[in-house]
Amino acid sequence: MGYSSKKTTISVLIPAHNEQEIIVETLKSILSQTLKPTEIIVICDHCSDNTIPLIYEFKKTTKANVKIFETKDNKGRKAGALNQVFNKLKLQKHVLIMDADTLIDKNALKSGMDMLSKDENLAAVSSRGVMQSSA
């Protein structure tokens, strides 16, 4: 069993609604992973702030596969936004869904893949959050 980091494909999905304050830091957090994702898809759900322009600017600074998916007529909030992506895009074999205001440890993807590869009965893994003070 096990996995090869060269063959492992991971889509990172980030539902976002008006996340201009944190979205760039979230993207940097994902790109700092020791196991790199194949693609990052920011699902912009009715963003009326600068979230989308900030992502376009960030894309200019990296060779990473960062995509923007804008929802259409979504009334289902976060679940509806995710469902639109699941219905419209071909995703990689493994999928990480994370909030737009979340920063993850640099080993999060590797740790998740390590756990999945140890038990073929596992279909999903989760992590625990750690709150940090901004003071």
Residue 23, pLDDT score: 97
Residue 129, pLDDT score: 64
Range 102-111 average pLDDT: 92
Residue pair 27/112 in contact (Cβ under 8 Å)? The answer is: no
Residue 134, pLDDT score: 53
63 pLDDT above the threshold of 60: yes
Mean of the per-residue pLDDT values for the chain? Answer: 90
Is 44 part of any domain?
Answer: yes
Calpha distance 70→80 (Å, rounded): 12
131 pLDDT above the threshold of 60: no
Is 2 part of any domain?
Answer: no
Structural domain containing residue 94: 10-118
Is 73 part of any domain?
Answer: yes
CATH code for the domain in which residue 97 is found = 3.90.550.10
Residue 132, pLDDT score: 55
Is 101 part of any domain?
Answer: yes
Q: Is 10 helix (H, G, I), strand (E, B) or coil?
A: strand
Whether this prediction's pTM lies above 0.75 is answered by yes
Number of domains into which the chain is organized: 1
Calpha distance 42→72 (Å, rounded): 14
Is 22 part of any domain?
Answer: yes
Calpha distance 81→78 (Å, rounded): 5
Is 129 part of any domain?
Answer: no
Q: Find all residues with CB under 8 Å of 56, minimum gap 6, and list them.
A: 68
Sign for the pseudo-dihedral over CA of 68, 72, 74, 79? negative
110-127 burial, b for 16+ CB within 10 Å, e for fewer?
bbbbeebeeeeeeeeeee
Residue 4, pLDDT score: 59
The percent of residues in the chain predicted with pLDDT above 70, rounded, is: 90
